[in-house]
Amino acid sequence: MFRKKTYTEEELIAGCLKNDRKSQEALYKQFFPVMMSMCLKHTRDRDKSMEILNDGFFKVFSKIQYYQNKGSFEGWIRRIIYHSIVDYYRANKKHQNLVSPDDLVFKSVPEKATDILAVEDLFTLVDRLPKTTKDVFMLFAVEGYKHIEIAQILGISTGTSKWHLSNARKMLKELMLQRKDTRTI
């Protein structure tokens, strides 16, 4: 019986760096389920998710030379796919209502503050957070990871992950309220 070749992560990366189509296909197949799930959480539409996912993987293959073997390779791919989701929403403003502010777990922010913000505005505020705080927030609130998983992905303690999430919520609440105040003037 014919058996498929399995590749290590290092082999996949090396093959993709050489623009090897079999390595690219293997990488795509390996990470497809998890990345597709992430896209579906944001669009709830399989066709749009496939469009975003394929655009994201194109970016992965185009930028793979920038991966520095620091942290999780899957986390690096997730970041690229996440940015493809954001790019999709920015380019297709008519689809803004597909992700509601409640999906981003802003439970501690007064309702009126979230009412005046579009999804694009929310992502803009999230982008203003410090890197690790933003990463923890996105992994927890958007992608649904637990603190123990976030700690493993980012190489931090579970307590540090919880602190970053709390800090992100405080900072986002302040940023949202500041934005609300400037819009009502």
The pLDDT, as a whole number, for residue 62 is 93
Q: Report the share of the chain in percent with pLDDT over 90.
A: 35
- The CA–CA distances, whole Å, from 89 to 77, 120, 179 equal 19, 7, 20
The pLDDT, as a whole number, for residue 105 is 47
pLDDT of 92 over the 80 cut: no
For the record, the structure tokens of 163 come out as 């602190």
The pLDDT, as a whole number, for residue 93 is 63
Q: In whole numbers, what is the pLDDT of the chain averaged over residues?
A: 80
Instruction: Tell me the pLDDT tens digit for each residue of 1-33.
Output: 555 667 888 999 999 999 999 999 999 999 999
pLDDT of 96 over the 60 cut: no
For the record, the structure tokens of 3 come out as 């058996």
In order of their start, the domains of the chain are 7-96 (1.10.1740.10), 100-185 (1.10.10.10)
Instruction: Tell me the pLDDT tens digit for each residue of 73-86.
Output: 988 999 899 889 88
Q: How confident is the model at residue 120 (pLDDT cuts 50, 70, 90)?
A: low
Q: Contact, 22 vs 14, CB < 8 A?
A: no
Which spans in 92-146 are helix H? 111-115, 119-127, 131-137
Greater confidence (108 vs 77) lies with 77
Q: Would you list the DSSP string of 16-70?
A: HHTT-HHHHHHHHHHHHHHHHHHHHHHH--HHHHHHHHHHHHHHHHHHGGG--S-
Q: What is the CA radius of gyration of the chain?
A: 18
Q: How far apart are CA 42 and CA 40, in angstroms?
A: 5
